[in-house]
Amino acid sequence: MKQRNPPGRNCPGLSRRAFLGATLGGAALGLIPPAPAAARPSGASGHLATAGELFRDYTGRLCYNENPLGPSPLAMTAMADSIPMGHRYTDWYAESLRSDLATLHSVGSNQIIAGCGATEILRLCALAFADPAGNVVSPYPSYSQFPSDAGFLGASVRYADLDANYAVDLSAMAAQVDANTTVLILTNPNNPTGPVLGASEISAFIDALPAHVAVIIDEAYHEYIQDAGYASAMEDVRQGRKVVVIRTFSKVFGLAGVRIGYAVGHQDLISAVRSWQTYGTVSRPAMDAARAALGDSQHITDTVTLCNQAKQYCFDELDLMGLDYIPSETNFFMVDVDNGAWVRSELANAGILVRQGWGMPQHIRVSTGTMQEMEDFITELQNILAAMARGEPGLPRITSLDGNQPNPFRGATSIGFGLAHSGRVRLEVFSIEGRRLRTLIDGPVEAGRHTLRWDGRDTQGHPVGAGSYFYRLIAGDVRETRRMIRL
Mean pLDDT, residues 360-367 taken together:
95
pLDDT at 112 over 90: yes
CA–CA dist 365, 332 (Å, integer): 7
Q: Summarize the confidence of residues 412-427 as an average pLDDT.
A: 94
Mean pLDDT of 424-449: 94
Quick one: what percent of the chain has pLDDT higher than 70?
88
What are 220-277's pLDDT values in tens digits?
A: 999 999 999 999 999 999 999 999 999 999 999 999 999 999 999 999 999 999 999 9
CATH numeric code, 40-62+298-389:
3.90.1150.10
Give the pLDDT confidence of 125-162 residue by residue, as tens digits: 999 999 999 999 999 999 999 998 998 899 999 999 99
* Fold of the 71-294 domain: Aspartate Aminotransferase; domain 2 (3.40.640)
Q: Which band of pLDDT confidence, cut at 50, 70 and 90, is reported for residue 432?
A: confident
The set of long-range contacts for 359-364, using a CB threshold of 8 Å and a minimum separation of 24, is 359/140, 359/141, 359/405, 359/406, 359/407, 359/408, 360/141, 360/192, 360/334, 361/403, 361/405, 362/336, 362/337, 362/338, 363/326, 363/334, 363/335, 363/336, 363/337, 364/334, 364/335, 364/337, 364/340
pLDDT at 459: 96
Q: What is the mean pLDDT of residues 272-287?
A: 96
**Mean pLDDT value across residues 100-107:** 98
Whether the predicted pLDDT of 96 surpasses 80 = yes
Q: What is the pLDDT of residue 56?
A: 58
pLDDT at 20: 52
Higher pLDDT, 29 or 449: 449
Quick one: pLDDT at residue 388?
86
Phi, psi (degrees; rounded to nearest 5) at 41:
-75, 155
Looking at the chain, which residues constitute the CATH 3.40.640.10 domain(s)? 71-294
Mean pLDDT within 180-193: 98
What was the pLDDT predicted at 200? 93
Q: Where in the chain is the domain with CATH 3.90.1150.10?
A: 40-62+298-389
DSSP summary character for residue 163:
-
**Residue 468 bridge partners (DSSP):** 485
From CA 370, how far away is CA 378, in angstroms rounded?
A: 13
**Mean pLDDT within 387-393:** 80
Q: Which CATH architecture has domain 397-486?
A: Sandwich (2.60)
**What is the pLDDT at residue 30?**
47
Quote the pLDDT of residue 124.
Answer: 98
Residue 390 pLDDT grade (very low, low, confident, very high; cuts 50, 70, 90): confident
CATH 2.60.40.4070 segments of the chain = 397-486
The set of residues, in sequence order, having a beta carbon less than 8 Å from that of 157 and lying 6+ positions away, is: 3, 4, 6, 135, 136, 137, 138, 147, 150, 151, 467
**Cα(363)–Cα(68) distance, integer angstroms:** 23
Mean pLDDT of 294-315: 98
Beta partners for 216? Answer: 185, 244
Predicted local distance difference test score (pLDDT) of residue 393: 62
What is the structure's pLDDT at 401?
87
At residue 152, the pLDDT reads 87
**pLDDT recorded at residue 398:** 81
Average pLDDT, the chain: 89
**Predicted local distance difference test score (pLDDT) of residue 449:** 86
What's the pLDDT score for residue 7? 34
In this prediction, residue 6 carries a pLDDT of: 34
